[in-house]
Every structure is written in C-alpha cells, then in structure tokens.
Structure 1
Amino acid sequence: MSTSQTGQVNPADVRSEVEAIRANPRAQVVIIGGGINGIGTFRDLALQGVDVILVERGDYASGASSASSHMIHGGVRYLENGEFRLVRESVQERNRLLRLAPHYVKPLPTTIPIFSTFSGILSAPLRFLTHKQGKAKERGALLIKVGLMGYDSFSRDGGNVPRHKFVGRKKSLQKLPKLRPDVKYTATYYDAAVENPERLALDLVQDALATGPKARTANYVEAIGANGDAVVLRDVVSGATFEVTADVVINTSGPWTDLTNEAFGETTHYMGGTKGSHIVLDNPELYEACAGGEVFFENNDGRIVLIYPLNGRVLVGTTDLEADPREPALCTEEEVDYFFKLVDHVFPTITVDRPQIVYRYSGIRPLPGHGDTAPGFVSRDYRIEQTSFGTSKTVKQLSLVGGKWTTFRALSEHLSNDTLALLGLERTVSTTDLAIGGGVGYPQTPAAVANWVKAHGADLGEERTRTLLARYGTKASAVIDYIVAHDDDAAETDAPLATLPGYSTAEIAYLMTREHTVHLSDLVLRRSIIAFVGALTQAVFDELSTLAAAAQGWSADRLDAEREQAAENLRFFHDIVLEAKHMTVTGTVN
C-alpha cells in the first residue's frame, strides 16, 4: 500500500471499478496491496480462473514498488550473504523477464571499477559468518572475480546474457576515460534495467482483467479493518466504506504489512524495512561517462552504489537506512551530499550539483525484521506467513514478508500455489513463458519493428507509430485504435501538445480514461515518465491539467483540488516546485 498521496479529493462521480466490487462483494481471494508482488499474484490467480479482488490504497505500484533502482538483477552481492537460492532464482527471473517483457526490460552492461587486487579477502569470511558490517573495504579484484564466476554459474541453464569480463587499467580507461586514473581493473557483467516499472506493473493489472469478470480491482481503496469474516474497505476518493468477504485474504502491503495486520486486529512483527533514496541528474557529461552502462560498486560504508543512464538522464543511488513505515520516506539533503561524493569517488573530474537534479525519490524496502544485523546484510529473500484472518475461524490469511522487483513472477507463482492449496484447487496455467502486456508479440529486430510499424502506422505515420511502440510495447495498437476512433482525421487529433511534443491530446485522454487513472499525479508520475525525466515544467503541468480535466469531465473545483494535490506531492516527495493556480477547463475528449 502506498503513502505517496497527500490530501484527498472528493468528486461527486461514482467510480465504476469500486462499484463492481461493491455489487459483488464476495470472492475466493482478496489481495490487500497493489505493489508489484500483489499485482503479480492478482494476475497469476486470475489466470487460474480464481474469483479474486485486488485493492490498493494508493495508485498501483506507487509505494515501495515505485522507489526501486529500476533494476532487474540477480544480486551478485547476495552471494556474500550466503543467499544462493535467491541469487539463482533472481538470475533465472532476470533472464526470463528479458524474454517476457522485452518492451520495458532491457539488458544493461554493468561495470565494477576495482582499485586493488586483494582488498576484502580477510574481512569477507567474517562478514559472511557474522552479517555485521564492521569497517568495510572496497572489494579487490580477486574477491570480485570469485564472486562473478559464481554469479555466471547461475546463468548456465537458459542464460541469455554474456559472461563477465575482466580488463586491466589501460582498457578500462579506454572504455571509461573519466574513471579515477588509479583504477586497476574493471569487471563487466550483464544485468537488466526496467525503463518504466510502473507501466510494467500496469500491464500485469490489465493482463489479469483480460481474463474475465472474476478478476476485479480498484486503486485508492484502503483496507481499514476486519468485521468477523469480512475485510472492511474504504474508498479513499469518496470516503465510503464497505465490506468484502473471501476464503483467503492475502496481505501484500510491503513495508506496511504489520500495520495492515494491526488494522485486522493481529499483532505481527514481520517487517524491518530500510529506506533507499535516489536522484535523477540531467548531466550530459556524466551520462556520456557511463558509456551506455551502469557503474556499480560497494562503498566503504558497505552501501551499494549505482550510477547509470536511464531514459536520457543519469540515475544515482542508493542509500540503506533504518526507516519507520509510519513516516513518509524522503530523499534528504544529507543523502544528496552522499550521492555527490559517490560520483566524485569514481568520476572525480565531473562536477555535479543540485540544479542538475530533475527528480528525487525515496522508498522503504519491504525487508524482514533484522535485529542488529547491518542493513546491507538483511535478507532480500521472501517468505509467506499463514495465520487466521482477524478473529475469523474460517478465513485464512497469507502475509508476504520481503520480495523484490526481480523475482515478482516467481514469488507470485509461489504465493498463488499456497493460495490454491488452501482453496483445494490446482494450477491450470503457467506464467513461466507467458509474455506480459505489451511484450506479447513485441518485435525485437529492426526488420520486425519495421514490419510492425508498417502494419499499424497507416493512420499516424511511421515516426509517431515507432514512438508509441517504444512507449507501450505492442499495447500501442490499443492507443492507436483509440486515437483513430476519436476523430475522422487522426493526424489532427494526434497533433503534438504545445508544451510536450512527444504526446498528443488523444494520447493523454487515453491515459486518463483507459488506464485506471484517478488523479493528475497518477498521470505525471506513473502513467508516464514526464516527471521522472524533468520534463514537468509549469507550462507542461498547466497543459496536462487542462487535458486531464477535459478527458474526465472534472469541474473547476475538482481541477483546482487535483492541481493542488499534485503540486504538493511533487514538491514534498520529489522536490519539483510548481504553482497550483486556478485553471479554466476547456475542451473535451470522450
């Protein structure tokens, strides 16, 4: 569940998704929490034909799932923690997602700069045995070589990325000339990046709903309590409360799992999440210095550092700090200073400063309670806890503890299997080789892309069709159909926005009316990467506000409230300052 919304809008209109649940409040399974693992489980169960409801108190993938490092990775450093099962599963799932979601998950060459040969050899066994951070040192070449050899071994079956490579100082500086000149070696291996994780999560929601009416979901619906066998829900938008019942309740609310259980009358101490922050920089020199890949290393304090080009910008992260899930997670000025020191550590001649930050974000990882174990050594693996739901004697509850983006498909399969067992059902559909959303039929060669564009681009033209394919995968066909259906002259309807030429009026209307978009902030933060890349200027915000209002038929008061809420969220969580002045609603696209 998400804490990414401040304030509340109370429109008079009734939300059809909520009404569909209220009209049929009985299901076999109710899932609480629409982060990536809750959504993945929703999809998996829907594919089995289970009558399943998913509710999320914020927008889909707006909590911990929106605060990731945008990585789909095997977790090479987990080897030092002894989490071999997790590494194996993560590597396998990384390879699988490169195949199943190629529209958003892309191979990413990852380079580790190495400044010594033997550093860390003596301390590594102690860290492995005690899981205490101690006075960490940068890993030397020998230790990293051993780790990457083990890492590669997990990709032997079905692996589709190259093995790692070690090179010396001369070749390292030829490839990355801005690196610290005292670099001795670099090791390069492959993981993957997910360019737009929120849209990937939305694809999973749409996949579930496409299975039929047994799959129902609503965002901005919060679980606030238990009443016997029933889950008490509150529509965050209208304030209305209602109940739903099920045979199994699944708690996938991430860092807030214990708080959700508390609302159900159960005291648990499963969670112990840590905060991770990131900044996004518009720094062409740093972007160029990365040479198209990630620079990845462990800092002296034991924290993992990543610097890599993403969506035309540079992502820098991350921190690993103790956090309270009752408080909002914010990227602090101290963390920004820390990030700048990290960049200077590996690229000492490149200047970074605060005006280059176009976006910042922070979130709490859904990690298990860990006592005095150092944050960097807390297990990234997951487990499933089974209890009774509240005071019910018949309803079973499953609470997910842990989980990460990379393993969401395997985790969802595991959680679904446990649920099916409780229901006395068997799996009928495997997701192992099932493409996701816009990854279905996604063309992966230049010739295949040209053929797809030729087949779908008659109305909008080749360039625009290519843009939509890159943005939505093969789901672009639905966007194109929507644009064409809403005007006889599709080219005119699809004319570029005045302030944001990469989008059109009809495309924004599609995002607002066909993708479970409730608030203006959903549009700029999760249905698109407009805010993430620093494109949300005041002029863009004003134009998008008007178009969003026209698409959903908002009143002037509703628009004012939406603008105020979005501006406050953007300022508070992401340090984007916009004026929430009054706007006049003009135009409409139905």
Structure 2
Amino acid sequence: MSLKSSAPRSTVQSVIDRPQASVLIIGGGINGIATFRDLALQGVDVTLVERNDWASGASAASSHMIHGGIRYLENGEFRLVQESVQERNGLIKIAPHYVKPLETTVPIFSTFSGILSAPLRFLTHKQGKPQERGALLIKVGLTAYDSFSRDGGSVPRHRFHGRKKSLADLPKMNPGLKYTATYYDASMHDPERLALDVLMDGLAAGPHARAVNYVEAVGMGADGVELRDTVTGQTFTVTSDVVVNTSGPWTDLTNAGLGEPTTYMGGTKGSHIVLDNPELYAATKGREIFFEHEDGRIVLIYPLKGKVMVGTTDIDADPSTPSVCTEEEVDYFFDLVKHVFPTIATSREQIVYRFSGIRPLPKHDDEAPGFVSRDYRIERRAAAARPSTTVFSLVGGKWTTFRALAEHLSTDVLNTIGAPRPVETLGLAIGGGAGFPRTDAATRTWVAAHEDGTGAKRAEQLLGRYGTKAAALLEHLAEHGDDRLQGAADYSVQELEYLVEQEQVVHLSDVLHRRTSLAFTGSLTAGLVDEIARVVGGVLGWDDAERTAQITAALDRLRDAHQVDLRVDAAQEAPAFS
C-alpha cells in the first residue's frame, strides 16, 4: 500500500538543499544514529538516511537489555565483554532515564555439568551435544564477569544461594533446582525512545547535521549516492567524501544496491513474545530470569512494563525476507517457562505482542549460531563508481556498545576526511539523561519545579517517560492543554501532537510502535488506533482517504508482523490476539 503524507517533509528538503556532504550514513538503527551523533558533535557535515523509521529494524527487536554478555566469555570474546561491561556502566550514568540496573537470577540444576564440554566449545565454537552449565562453571564465569567491571558502585557483584534459600526467595521456581546465581546487568525499557534521544542530540548540534527517515539508497554513480523518498517517490543525489553503511543485517543488500557486492553478513533470527500473565510477573519479583535451556540456548523471562517478555531464539535467517515469530518458537517459549516455573500456566491467549528481528552478525558458515561473534568490525573500500569516495561497512554491533562503536567508526571517518575530534562522547549525557534526578529527593525537587499546569503526578509520569526532556513537553501542555485519550488515559492528545511535531513522525505506525509503547504492552484497540490516527492526521494534514489508508496499513502491520489482529473484534474495547 502506498502511503503519502500531505504535510511538507522539511527534513527531506534539508537534504535536497544540501546535495554535498562530507559524510553520508545509510541506516538509521542505533549504530547509524550513534555514529551520526558522534560526527555531528565534531562539527562534521553529515547526512543520515533511513529507509523506514528510526530504530525500526534490528534495533527494534532487542531483548531490552544493556548487558556485558557473560556468555561471550565462553566464546573467548574477552575484549567485547570488557567493553560491554564498561559501556553498560557508562550508560547507566549518561542515560539513566532509560538504562537502569537490572537484577538477574540464573536457576541452576546441577553442580558440575558442562565442565568438560565448555573447553571444547571455547576451542572449536561448535555446539556439540547440548548441556546445561552447572554451578561450578557459572560461578567461574560470574567471578570473571565481576572482574571486568572496574567501576564499583554501578552494579553490585554477584551472589550464590543454595536450593532452600533460593526457593524461599522465589517460591514459584522449579523445586528441582540446586542453586541460583544472582548478578546485575541493566534494563533498557524503551530502546526506540533512547535511539530518538541519541538522534536528537545529533540534530541539535547544528544545521551541518541532517537526518531523514523514509529515504532509501537506490544506487551509486559518478555523482554520488542516489536516494529515493519512499513517501513521495522523489529521487535525488547526495555527493560525499565518505559513505558509511550501517544498515545492520541488510549491509550486503545495501552494498549490492550501491553496486558494491559484499558477503559480510550472516545474521540469525531472534524472536520474543510479551505475555499478560500476572502470576508469572509476580513470580519474577521484578527480576530478569536468565538461563540456559536444555538445548543450549540462552533464554530469558523478563518483567517489563507490567507484562512479561520471554525470549529469545537464535536461528539462521535470510534478511531479504520478513522476520516473524513462528508458532514453533511460541511453543519453545512456553516450554522454557514451564521448565523454570512449572506450576504457572501459559497460553496463547496471554500473548499481547510478538516481535522478531535479525541480528547483524557476520557470516559464520558452519559455526553454531550461539557462538557467532557479537563483536563488530569495520570494512573499508573505495567506491567502484566513484573512487574518490570511501565506503565503510559496519559488520556486527549490538545495543550495549553503540556509543563505543560509534566512537570507533567516527574516528576512522575523521581520519579519512582529516577532521579533528574536539568532543568526547564518553561520559556525555544523552538526551533526557542530562540532569536526570538520581534520588527520590531530587525527583521531588524536579517535579515541584515543573508541575505547574499539569500537576505533580503527571510531571513525574512524563519525567519517567522522557527524562528531563519532559520539561519542554510540560511547558507545551501547560499552554495547550492535556486532554487524555479516551482509549489510553496515560497519553493525551496534546502529548501526541507534540511527538508528531518534534520527532519526525511520518506514518501512524511510527507512533503506535516507537514513539509510544502502546503496541508493545497490548494496549491498542481498533478504536484507539482510529483515535490516534485522527490526532496524528490532524498534525500532518491527512484527509479522510489518507487517514483510512494509514489505519489499514497499521492494522496490517500489527497482524502480519506481530500477530495482533484488531479487526477480529473491532467492536469491543479489548484487542483480539492470534
């Protein structure tokens, strides 16, 4: 379905008006966005384009964690673990509104299991016969994991408990366990909103930094990279000294489109389900339950936004085809929940959302998916169609290391164009993390200073949702009103209007999936989708036909990509889930 917005796309025009840039970045996932921010802060003339919405591909399919990757130790990826732990600790400080310490418990069912097979896996990266890791191996791993964190105080060190204390602490757990190990990583409860904060930091650097969504790269010639606006169909060319390909699992496809065929990538599919299961939510006691299933896969049960997210799988996938969560994967998730919490029933009726994505992993041939490196590398070559242009391709990368990765990639770009690095991003607050209150007393002080016009409760809610960037929104609401949506009282008409105006919203789905958490939490109904479409369309100037087309497209996406079919029972105020 072709969707068109009748509102002017000033962001696209800003790129058309500046057909030359020092750097063109293709791919607006978290790594492309972070690289854009880094270069923009250095004063580099940089343009970022994304063929869909920001952070809507692999970045939208994460496990909502910022973690050091304890299991990477078994792969021998010590550099990655050290960098990941350091970046985790750093993000807790510079993005405290979205990244917070997460207590994580591992149920353990044996003492010595895995001791003989682990060295073989370490040396060969072959899975071999699946075997759960026992207490001794996990203890060694967590001790090593703690040693990588040199920033005491960001998160506590791990602790071990025997069966009796473990079941007293988490009584719904499988009574067959022998131990539990509890350690801390970090949660990232709104990854798409964190990505938007990173993006807006880059745009705020000045007019030398331009970023536009729904623009795709379709070719490359002697004049530069040809781009196409997917909303209007308009094509135009940007000439640059450097092209940076950060299109994640689609890196090879992007390079092929530019006339630069590569075979760098070999991603795997990871799926998740979100359950409305109050008993399971209560049983976790706010902790992530992280463990190895009997088939050797690392899986998690994660309380989030009042629901429970269960994941993930690790299956070889083709990035040229859509990634969806299958019924077989759902059965697998139910089996693993039963393995840990045997008395808690799960069913498909409890699923409010499913999502799936492809990890941007390197080509791995016959290497077991779980052992494919999660580290990243940067490939460099001269463009065949324009030898004076250098093309960098990012292979790999994950949410946790986005800042460090962007610093690395940006440094390579700066060296290529001969530009200095006047600004360091290490320790530099991201978006609404700047000045974010760290204590209850500081929160009360912030709220008291911003509650006029909306009240303290609403000010505190928006502080939690947007960080200190909520201050500007609260001023907007105090001036224009704060009329709550009929179908979602946590949001208001004026709040959504503000997001549409400020955050490059183009389609209705942008609001449902990424500017808000309404889809993720299963809060959508057919009536609410229509209500939000009227708000969004009022800002973007949609006529009745366009609004209807946007609603149809949004409902199709919910059904096809997330198995949420709101058409099944559209007359009711509760969604129907397949």
Q: Could you say which residue in structure 2 is the equivalent of 1:96?
A: 90
Q: Could you say which residue in structure 1 is the equivalent of 2:485?
A: 497
Q: Could you say which residue in structure 1 is the equivalent of 2:266?
A: 272
Residue 538 of structure 1 pairs with residue 532 of structure 2: no
One-letter code of the match for 1:497? Answer: L
Residue 239 of structure 1 pairs with residue 227 of structure 2: no
Percent of aligned pairs with the same residue? 63
What SS does the corresponding residue of 1:288 show, helix, strand or coil?
helix
Shift of 1:229: 4.1
One-letter code of the match for 1:70? Answer: H
Q: Could you say which residue in structure 2 is the equivalent of 1:87?
A: 81
What SS does the corresponding residue of 2:561 show, helix, strand or coil?
helix
Correspondences of 1:279-318 after superposition (within 5 Å): 279-318=273-312
Correspondences of 1:164-183 after superposition (within 5 Å): 164-183=158-177
| Aligned with 1:357 (options 351, 370, 376) | 351
| Aligned with 1:63 (options 32, 57, 61) | 57
Q: Deviation string for 1:11-34 (max 9, x for gaps)? A: 344310000100111110000000
What SS does the corresponding residue of 1:255 show, helix, strand or coil?
helix
What SS does the corresponding residue of 2:106 show, helix, strand or coil?
strand
One-letter code of the match for 2:36? Answer: F
Shift of 1:578: 2.2
What is the CA–CA distance in structure 2 between the aligned matches of 1:325 and 1:340, rounded to whole Å?
26
Q: 2:450, 2:459 within 8 Å by CA — same for their partners in 1?
A: yes
Shift of 1:530: 0.5
Q: Deviation string for 1:541-568 (max 9, x for gaps)? A: 1211221112222111110110011111
What is the CA–CA distance in structure 2 between the aligned matches of 1:259 and 1:460, rounded to whole Å?
48
What SS does the corresponding residue of 1:406 show, helix, strand or coil?
helix
Correspondences of 1:126-145 after superposition (within 5 Å): 126-145=120-139
Correspondences of 1:379-458 after superposition (within 5 Å): 379-458=373-452
Q: 1:26, 1:244 within 8 Å by CA — same for their partners in 2?
A: yes
Shift of 1:498: 1.4
Shift of 1:485: 3.3
Q: 1:8, 1:565 within 8 Å by CA — same for their partners in 2?
A: no
Residue 50 of structure 1 pairs with residue 44 of structure 2: yes
What is the CA–CA distance in structure 2 between the aligned matches of 1:542 and 1:415, rounded to whole Å?
42
TM-score w.r.t. the length of structure 1 is: 0.95
Shift of 1:581: 12
Residue 523 of structure 1 pairs with residue 508 of structure 2: no
One-letter code of the match for 1:569? Answer: R
One-letter code of the match for 1:341? Answer: D
Q: Deviation string for 1:383-404 (max 9, x for gaps)? A: 0000112321200010000000
Q: Deviation string for 1:175-229 (max 9, x for gaps)? A: 1101110110000000001000000000011100111100001000000110114
Q: 1:95, 1:159 within 8 Å by CA — same for their partners in 2?
A: no
What is the CA–CA distance in structure 2 between the aligned matches of 1:573 and 1:270, rounded to whole Å?
26
Shift of 1:275: 0.2
Q: Could you say which residue in structure 1 is the equivalent of 2:502?
A: 514
What is the CA–CA distance in structure 2 between the aligned matches of 1:343 and 1:11, rounded to whole Å?
44
Q: 1:228, 1:390 within 8 Å by CA — same for their partners in 2?
A: no
TM-score w.r.t. the length of structure 2 is: 0.97
What is the CA–CA distance in structure 1 between the aligned matches of 2:152 and 2:419, rounded to whole Å?
30
Q: 1:229, 1:395 within 8 Å by CA — same for their partners in 2?
A: no
Q: 1:272, 1:370 within 8 Å by CA — same for their partners in 2?
A: yes
Q: 2:7, 2:541 within 8 Å by CA — same for their partners in 1?
A: no
What SS does the corresponding residue of 1:526 show, helix, strand or coil?
helix
Q: 2:223, 2:237 within 8 Å by CA — same for their partners in 1?
A: no
Q: Could you say which residue in structure 1 is the equivalent of 2:454?
A: 460
What SS does the corresponding residue of 1:28 show, helix, strand or coil?
strand
Q: 2:5, 2:541 within 8 Å by CA — same for their partners in 1?
A: no
One-letter code of the match for 1:14? Answer: P
Correspondences of 1:188-337 after superposition (within 5 Å): 188-337=182-331
What is the CA–CA distance in structure 1 between the aligned matches of 2:154 and 2:566, rounded to whole Å?
44
Q: Could you say which residue in structure 1 is the equivalent of 2:576?
A: none
| Aligned with 2:543 (options 555, 563, 575) | 555
Say what the alpha-carbon RMSD is for the aligned residues.
Answer: 1.4
What SS does the corresponding residue of 2:75 show, helix, strand or coil?
coil
What is the CA–CA distance in structure 1 between the aligned matches of 2:13 and 2:296, rounded to whole Å?
49
What SS does the corresponding residue of 2:303 show, helix, strand or coil?
strand
What is the CA–CA distance in structure 2 between the aligned matches of 1:520 and 1:259, rounded to whole Å?
27
Q: Could you say which residue in structure 2 is the equivalent of 1:587?
A: none
One-letter code of the match for 2:40? Answer: A
What SS does the corresponding residue of 1:407 show, helix, strand or coil?
helix
Aligned length: 571
Q: Could you say which residue in structure 2 is the equivalent of 1:78?
A: 72
Q: Could you say which residue in structure 2 is the equivalent of 1:146?
A: 140
Q: CA distance change for structure 1 residues 581 and 126 in 2, over 3 Å: closer, same or farther?
A: closer
What is the CA–CA distance in structure 1 between the aligned matches of 2:544 and 2:160, rounded to whole Å?
61
Q: Could you say which residue in structure 1 is the equivalent of 2:573?
A: none
What is the CA–CA distance in structure 2 between the aligned matches of 1:475 and 1:417, rounded to whole Å?
29
Q: Could you say which residue in structure 2 is the equivalent of 1:3?
A: none
What SS does the corresponding residue of 1:359 show, helix, strand or coil?
strand
Q: Deviation string for 1:333-383 (max 9, x for gaps)? A: 110000000000110000000010000000000000001000000000000
Residue 124 of structure 1 pairs with residue 118 of structure 2: yes
Q: Which runs of 5+ in 1 are unaligned?
A: 1-6, 487-492, 583-590
